[in-house]
Amino acid sequence: MKFSTLLFAVAAMLCTTGSFAQLSTGEDVGVTQTTSGKVRGFIRNSIYTYRGIPYGVANRFETAQAPEPWEGVRSSTTWGPVAPLMSPTTSVRDESEFVFDHDWGYTSEDCLVLNVWTPEINDGKKRPVMFWIHGGGFSAGSSQELPSYHGENLAKKGDVVVVSINHRLNVLGFLDLSAYGEKYATSANNSMLDIQKALEWVRDNVSNFGGDPDNVTIFGQSGGGAKVNTLMAMPGAKGLFHKAINQSGAFRSETHGKEITQQVSAEVIKELGISGDQIDEIQSVPFKELAAAGQKALRTVGDRLREEGRPVGGFGLGWGPSMDGDLIPHQIASDEAYELSKHVPLMIGTVKNEFMPSLGAGLSHASMGDVMKHLEEQYGDKTAAYVAAAKEAYPNYKMPSDLIDIDTRFRPGAIYQANKKSALSGGASVYSYVFKWQSPVFDGKYKAIHCIEIPFAFFNIDRCENMTGATPEAHVLAEKVSKAWINFAHHGDPNHSGLPAWPKYSEENGANMLFDNHCEVRSHHDKALLELVISE
């Protein structure tokens, strides 16, 4: 047989077995109706995909409105614009960039767009909707930034509709100009109001994409998890979602009020040379100048608060939601806020190593002596107690740096939230987890790093091989993790036959699912460790 003939035969066999992606495009492919007009997408591997559908439009610092209706069919096959960044990426670290494999996209202030993946359209079926909110704090990120965010595999595996969004960030989403007129009444929290607008789009449109507007799960990681918590504290968002998953995004710090946010805005317009009675001029300031003025204002007000002995938060004063008395009337972790989302089931967790202190300290493969020296600088006479608690929490450590790479930034907030929500009388279920699977890439250097669980939840192991290694073990664990996320979206309960029984969390039982090659449930496994680090 000639080589060309053999190659054709192999290609034909691969096509028939589905090893090649099956792609369908065209003027009439995937056409469905939205409240603003018809859209068309494309079909890959039997999943309908739409990108960059507008869900809102807004002038700078003003409340988002519905998009202008369009005539005909809008092509929606390419990623839409992402929000401008305070500090555009001009260089990267080679090795870590290989691991994360970012797609930075292109920026525009007109960035209120969303993406949809669905098994079918216009079929009248009511599939659960999984509404993904990207990370990046409140200042960066996008719906396409990481390959793990891609929704095709999750939609196909779970028979769910996946929606992801872009929205205003940083100074554009959070500069509080409310003191300068009704036009800017919502400016302090426009970023969060954009997300609410996207959820309203889901309510009004997702049935045409095969989804159930009465079964929406919001889920997000890092800053996206913090946005999940914020939505749960927003009266205007109540009823737009019905379940929530917070991945590495729980914080205990308080939200600032107008006293602080209006100090920041006053410093911004002072830096820009704009008077209060000419505030509309700020809408035409080039973004680069606006961003620089915003960063300087944050430093100025942050320094002022420190001088007064007032808290500025673990990450310093930055852009984010504020308690404006209207859109966010209470502290996000207050009793009133928890009561507002009392009936929303919650799955919450973190990954074991998160920000990997050993990477920044150059201690990835350090000796035990160097690791102990580092710990003594941090914990002093409590070092021995810390090491004992760390070994109790995670007994099967492999190298000395494992002792310093245990996350203590997100985990305390996650347990605090799980305790508080699970204690609500008549409240919905809470499930808690820790993802501790260790990535093999670069000789295991990156361990269970921040974002590592996302490709497992989205069933994107091969798409994210730079982070997961695409090992057989990773594929097996992804089956278990993605099924838990899918079951939670369907029923509010992540349990399935591939996992040990996962109890509802309570402060008394301290039940946590530990995801690894061997998954297990442990009770209060890191309680002693958390008590020690919180007291520091």
Q: Is 439 a catalytic residue?
A: no
Cβ contacts of 39 within 8 Å, gap of 6 or more = 30, 31, 32, 50, 53, 73, 74, 75, 76
**Structure-token pair, residue 138:** 């409140």
Q: Could you say which of 134, 150, 374, 450 is catalytic?
A: 450
The SS3 of residue 437 is coil
Q: Quick one: how many helices (H) and strands (E) in the chain?
A: 18, 15
Q: Return d(Cα 423, Cα 510) in angstroms, integer.
A: 12
> What sign does the CA torsion over 491, 448, 144, 63 have?
positive
Q: Give the other-Cβ count within 10 Å of 30's Cβ.
A: 23
The CA-CA-CA angle for residues 534, 535, 536, to 5°, reads 90
Asked if residue 120 lies in contact with residue 48, where contact means CB atoms within 8 angstroms, the answer is: yes
> What sign does the CA torsion over 68, 74, 76, 80 have?
negative
DSSP structure class, residue 146: S
Alpha helix locations (H) across 380-494? Answer: 383-393, 411-422, 441-444, 454-457, 465-468, 472-491
Alpha helix locations (H) across 233-382? Answer: 258-272, 287-307, 335-340, 357-361, 368-379
> What sign does the CA torsion over 377, 380, 384, 388 have?
negative
Virtual torsion, Cα 330, 336, 342, 344, nearest 10 deg: 0
Residue with token string 């260790």: 438
Give the strand pairing for 73-75 and 127-133. unpaired
Cα-flanking dihedrals φ and ψ of residue 504, to 5°? Answer: -60, 140
Q: Is 354 a catalytic residue?
A: yes
Q: How far apart are the first and last CA of the chain?
A: 73
The candidate with the shortest Cα–Cα distance to 198, out of 52, 28, 360, is: 52
Q: Return d(Cα 6, Cα 15) in angstroms, integer.
A: 14
b/e sequence 104-141, b meaning 16+ C-beta within 10 Å: ebebeeebbbbbbbbbbbeeeeebbbbbbbbbbbbbbb
Q: Return d(Cα 12, Cα 30) in angstroms, integer.
A: 26
**Structure-token pair, residue 473:** 């073990």
Q: Is 358 a catalytic residue?
A: no
**Structure-token pair, residue 374:** 């580092």
Residues with catalytic roles: 222, 354, 450
